[in-house]
Amino acid sequence: MKMTKKAFQFLYLGLTLILSNALHAQSGEGVQGREQKQRLTAEERAKKATDRQKEELGLDEAQYQKVLDINKKHAAKMEDLHKKAQEEREKRKAEMETMEASRQAELNKVLTPEQYEQFKLNKEKHKEKMKARKGHPGHQGKPEE
């Protein structure tokens, strides 16, 4: 079978795309790369924002200091809000885990051992499916119907 030049080019392009995508995924870039970045402190974020504003807006030194003070104040407030939100998320997660453990204990009393094992397998499959979908672009966190 004789392969035409066009078919060979198409095959070569497809393999190149597949390999480059695999290498990109292994390099830790993208979603995972963002998680690995060092988080800036509130003061560092304020300074970075103020430096950018100085460049974009042409701030003089007096304006720079005032804007820096404002940005520091608000960055500290935002950091406090983020910490409170994180604490609330962790508390809510712990409550949900307690409720789920209680639900499973009740189900274990009603289901046969075989049914309960099947229930646990189904739950694990669903968990893996959701984990796999989590990294896809455009995923809104809604399960498929």
Q: Collect all residues with Cβ–Cβ distance below 8 Å to 47 and sequence separation of at least 6.
A: 68, 71, 72
Cα dihedral: 27, 28, 31, 37 (round 10) = -130
Helices (H) and strands (E) in the chain, counts: 5, 0
Q: How far apart are the first and last CA of the chain?
A: 45
pLDDT of residue 50: 95
Dump pLDDT digits (tens) for 90-100: 999 999 999 99
Task: Say which residue the tokens 């966190």 belong to.
Answer: 141
For the chain, list residues with pLDDT below 70: 1-3, 7-8, 10-17, 19-37, 136-145
Q: What local confidence, expressed as pLDDT, does residue 144 receive?
A: 47
Query: Given this model, what pLDDT does residue 9 score?
Result: 72
- The confidence score (pLDDT) of residue 145 equals 43
pLDDT at position 5: 72
CA–CA dist 40, 132 (Å, integer)? 29
